[in-house]
Amino acid sequence: MLTLIGVAIVVIGFVLRMNPLLVVTVAGLATGIAGGFGPLAVIAAFGKAFITSRYVAIVWLVLPVIGLLEHAGLKERARSLVAGLRAATVSRILLAYFAIRQITAALGLTSLGGHPQMVRPLIAPMAEGAAENQYGELPEGVRHKIRAHAAAVDNIALFFGEDIFIAIGSILLIKGFLDQNGIHVEPTQLAIWAIPTAICAFVIHGTRLLLLDRWLRKEIARNQSEA
């Protein structure tokens, strides 16, 4: 049970809003030591993972690029672009991204979207710009609500879209689990049966997004009446 101490450290660190990188590093060290490894062995495991995993190195390449784009005014450009589209609303922008994200994930292109490269610099500012275009200056709570929905759209679309692609880790994990329990199915069958689930996810969450516009109208009207 001591090996689960890393989970407790992550939860406590995030609740206290500490540096995420520091929290995860400490959690990894604690888990390794609790599992019987020495400090040097744990650090060596970190180094091996860093060298052998290309995705770790990609992060260090992507983040500076995103930072430079934001410094050059990417968010402002996204807001100004949406401001010129009168038909754009928060729900329509997020629903369009939901569809694109789910379709591309179903084709195996899971890296085309994501929170750091799409949601934070583009999708969330565009949704906020559409709301500002309709209602003017937004209260801070409304702004955070829109950002949360933008992040949720990416999560849900990716989660239910990627299972349609047979060469994905989740499909292989499901197949391995079923094989261990004596249930033998082909990855193609799993992918096919993931299609109705993805459609249901699109309909259900699309309805939630359409209701978001109604909530925004009521919330803005309430704030204006209180002011």
Digit-coded pLDDT (tens) for 4-21: 788 888 889 888 888 777
d(CA 154, CA 139): 24
The 3-state DSSP class for residue 16 equals: coil
Q: What distance, in Å, lies between the first and last C-alpha atoms of the chain?
A: 54
Residue partners of 172: CB distance under 8 A and separation at least 6: 187
pLDDT of 62: 61
Average pLDDT over residues 33-54: 76
Per-residue model confidence as pLDDT tens digits over 48-103: 766 665 555 555 566 666 666 666 666 677 667 676 667 788 999 999 999 999 99
Chain-centroid distance, C-alpha 162: 13
Nearest Cα residue to 120 out of 150, 145, 141, 142: 150
pLDDT of 7: 87
Look at residue 152 and tell me whether its pLDDT is greater than 70: yes
CA–CA distance from 137 to each of 147, 211, 212 (Å)? 15, 21, 17
CA–CA distance from 17 to each of 12, 24, 26, 81, 174 (Å)? 9, 12, 14, 34, 34
pLDDT of 154: 95
Q: Report which of residues 170 and 182 the model is more confident about.
A: 182
Per-residue model confidence as pLDDT tens digits over 97-148: 999 999 999 988 888 888 878 888 888 888 988 888 888 888 888 999 999 9
For residue 144 the two structure tokens come to 């955070």
pLDDT of 57: 54
Nearest Cα residue to 134 out of 212, 36, 43, 44: 212
Instruction: Give yes or no for a contact between 187 and 166, defined as CB atoms under 8 angstroms apart.
Output: yes
CA angle (79, 84, 90) in 5-degree steps? 55
Per-residue model confidence as pLDDT tens digits over 17-33: 887 778 888 888 888 88
pTM beyond cutoff 0.85: no
Average pLDDT over residues 188-211: 92
CA–CA distance from 175 to each of 60, 162, 166 (Å)? 33, 15, 11
pLDDT of 186: 86
Reported as a pLDDT band with limits 50, 70 and 90, residue 156 is: very high
